[in-house]
Chain A
Amino acid sequence: MAKNMSKTMKNTLYMLAYLLGGGIFGFLIASDWGQNASSSLRFDPSIYYKYDLPFALAALIIIVLSGLTLFGLNRLKNVPVPLDDWAEELGNKEEYALSKLLMVSAFNHIVAMIWMLTAIAYSASSVSAPSEVPFILVNIFAGTAAVLVSTFLQFRSVQLYNKHFSERSLDYFGKNGQKEFFDKLDEAEKFTVYRSAFTAYKAVNIALVSGMIVFVLYSVFFTFSPLPIVVLGIIWMIQQASYYYEASKVYRNK
């Protein structure tokens, strides 16, 4: 009874929060402040060149993540194979460090890709001025170099993983590397992948809706921008279609 009451109370509080949020949102859009927000929200992320701060932030993140990856590679390269054969715990500290290394190298690669692609997009846009050409070129070359370095670091991290888990090795550059890797997993590891994939599916659902709301707000306060909303919608449909296609396989005759 107490547990049900608590759940009802929680649902009531959520409902009140949604009502409050919706009320604030509606007021902001309808009010004078909302109508003139683009002049009020003067956020100019630059010191000398336009957008130099975001690019500098990306560079800083990559330096930190690359440093962490190099530190991890150096620390783990001399760990004996196998990782502590008589380990009884799930995930001794070397295994845990290896999993963190793979995650950090993946994030490093993503940030590097964002930097490079944003620099290319900025150079190709009509927003950039001719005087900014040196700045843009530096960002394109540095971003490309960051992608190459992060790819190499990620490859080395995967090589280290393959050294310790040779029966479940991942072919980093292979066309079907991910599928071949998955096929090598045992049932418990596959169960962990399924559970992780479902958690990622739920997180992406929330992220896509949140992203679309962000771009609606962007259109309200700045300029009408339908393309990001449409692109996120298409990604959402692809995600749902993939999920239901996989789930429907069980009903098909072999």
Chain B
Amino acid sequence: MSELTNRVRELRARDRLSQGDLAAQIGASRQTIALIERGDYSPSIVLALKIAAVFEVSVEEIFALKGGTDNG
């Protein structure tokens, strides 16, 4: 399982986007979006940035490490 938590499903619901719609906008497959939302796959930086651009938020507002970080 991924070490990340994410708000992709929540933001999709906010913007009324289906998994297929989001996938088409970032050039991925619907299955990849489903894997990310389920926590079974951690997207690359490139894919995370593309997702953030679609929702017009920063990457940190979508993805976070489980249990937080040791910094600060």
Q: Is the CB of A90 within 8 A of B35?
A: yes
Any A CB within 8 A of the CB of B44: yes
Q: Is the CB of B35 within 8 A of A188?
A: yes
Q: Is the CB of B20 within 8 A of A82?
A: yes
B18 and chain A: residue at smallest CB distance? A86
Q: Is the CB of B27 within 8 A of A87?
A: no
User: Given A89-B34, A90-B34, are A187 and B18 neighbors across the interface (CB < 8 Å)?
Assistant: no
Q: Is the CB of B29 within 8 A of A87?
A: no
Any A CB within 8 A of the CB of B36: yes
Any A CB within 8 A of the CB of B32: yes
Any B CB within 8 A of the CB of A186: yes
Q: Restricting to B12-64, which residues have a CB under 8 Å from any CB of A?
A: 18-20, 27-32, 34-36, 38, 40-41, 43-44, 47
User: Which B residues touch A85, using CB under 8 A?
Assistant: 18, 20
Interface flags for A6-19 (1: CB within 8 Å of B; 0: not) read: 00000000000000
CB distance from B22 to the nearest CB of A (A): 12
Question: What is the CA–CA distance of A194 and B29 in the complex, to the nearest angstrom?
Answer: 17
Any B CB within 8 A of the CB of A44: no
CB distance from B34 to the nearest CB of A (A): 4
A95 and chain B: residue at smallest CB distance? B31
Q: Is the CB of A189 within 8 A of B18?
A: no
Any B CB within 8 A of the CB of A91: yes
User: Which A residues touch B19, using CB under 8 A?
Assistant: 86-88
B34 and chain A: residue at smallest CB distance? A90
User: Given A90-B35, A191-B41, are A186 and B27 neighbors across the interface (CB < 8 Å)?
Assistant: yes
Q: Is the CB of B38 within 8 A of A188?
A: no
Q: Is the CB of B41 within 8 A of A168?
A: no
Among B20, B30, B36, B41, max chain A CB count under 10 A is at B30
Among B31, B34, B35, max chain A CB count under 10 A is at B31
A88 and chain B: residue at smallest CB distance? B19
Q: Is the CB of B43 within 8 A of A187?
A: yes
Binding site for A on B (CB under 8 A): 18-20, 27-32, 34-36, 38, 40-41, 43-44, 47
* Other contacts beyond A85-B20, A186-B29: 12, CB < 8 A: A85-B18, A86-B18, A87-B19, A88-B34, A90-B31, A90-B38, A91-B31, A187-B32, A187-B47, A188-B31, A188-B41, A189-B31
Q: Can you give 15 A-B contacts (C-beta < 8 A)?
A: A82-B20, A86-B19, A87-B19, A87-B30, A88-B19, A90-B31, A90-B35, A168-B29, A185-B29, A186-B29, A186-B47, A187-B32, A188-B36, A188-B43, A189-B29
6 tightest A-B contacts by CB? A188-B32, A90-B34, A186-B28, A188-B41, A85-B20, A86-B18
